[in-house]
Amino acid sequence: MWRLSDELLREFERTLEESYSSVVSVAKSLKHRWRELPEPEICSICGVDGSRGIERLSGLVFYIISAASVGEDIREMHEVTTLRPHMHIEERIRLHMHTSEYRLGSLAEEEIVLMDGTLRGAIIRPPAYLDRDVYTTLSNLYDLEGIIDDFIMVLDRWYEEIAEDVAKGVARKNYLLTRSEYFDGIEIGCRKGGEGDRDNLMILLEYIEYLHALDKLLERNAVFVAKSFYTNEFTANSSITDSAVLDYLAREQFGEEKAGYIQFKPELKKSLPWYAKKFRNLTKAEVFGAFVRFADGGNIYMLESSKPVEEETIAKLCSFEADGYLIPLIHAHRHAEIRRRELKNIMNAMLSAVEPKYAFLLKKGREPLER
267 domain-assigned = no
pLDDT classification of 363: cutoffs 50, 70, 90: low
117 domain-assigned = yes
Say yes or no to pLDDT of 237 above 70: no
298 domain-assigned = no
Residue 326: per-residue pLDDT: 97
187 domain-assigned = yes
Interatomic CA distance for residues 345 and 85, integer angstroms: 25
Q: Worst-scoring range by mean pLDDT, 8-17, 164-173, 226-235, 300-309?
A: 226-235
353 dihedral zone (left: phi>0; alpha: psi -120 to 50; beta) = alpha
Interatomic CA distance for residues 177 and 155, integer angstroms: 7
114 domain-assigned = yes
Strand, helix or coil for residue 258? coil
73-105 pLDDT, tens digit per residue, is: 999 999 988 888 888 999 999 999 999 999 999
SS3 content of the chain, % helix, strand, coil (to 5): 50, 20, 35
Q: For strand 222-226 and strand 325-326, is the pairing parallel, antiparallel, or unpaired?
A: unpaired
Interatomic CA distance for residues 268 and 241, integer angstroms: 18
Say yes or no to pLDDT of 328 above 50: yes
Nearest to 80 by CA among 38, 120, 52: 52
Strand pairing partners for 62?
Answer: 55, 82
The mean per-residue pLDDT over the stretch 165-193 comes to 93
By residue range, what is the domain housing residue 192?
48-223+332-370
40 domain-assigned = no
Position 95, amino acid: L
141 domain-assigned = yes
Residue 73: per-residue pLDDT: 94
**List of long-range contacts for 72-76, beta carbons under 8 Å, 24+ apart:** 72/44, 72/46, 72/109, 72/110, 73/109, 74/335, 75/104, 75/107, 75/108, 75/166, 75/167, 75/169, 75/171, 76/104, 76/166, 76/169, 76/171, 76/335, 76/336
Q: Domain count for the chain, please give it.
A: 1
124 domain-assigned = yes
Tell me the CB-side half-sphere exposure of residue 115, using CA atoms within 13 A.
Answer: 29
Q: State pTM to two decimals.
A: 0.91
103-114 pLDDT, tens digit per residue, is: 999 999 999 999
203-212 pLDDT, tens digit per residue, is: 999 999 999 9
The mean per-residue pLDDT over the stretch 304-333 comes to 96
Interatomic CA distance for residues 289 and 1, integer angstroms: 42
Average confidence score pLDDT of the chain: 90
Q: For strand 222-226 and strand 112-116, is the pairing parallel, antiparallel, or unpaired?
A: parallel
For residues 346-371, one letter each, b for 16 or more C-beta atoms within 10 angstroms of the residue's C-beta and e for the rest, the string is bbeeeeeeeeeeeeeebeeeeeeeee
Position 310, amino acid: E
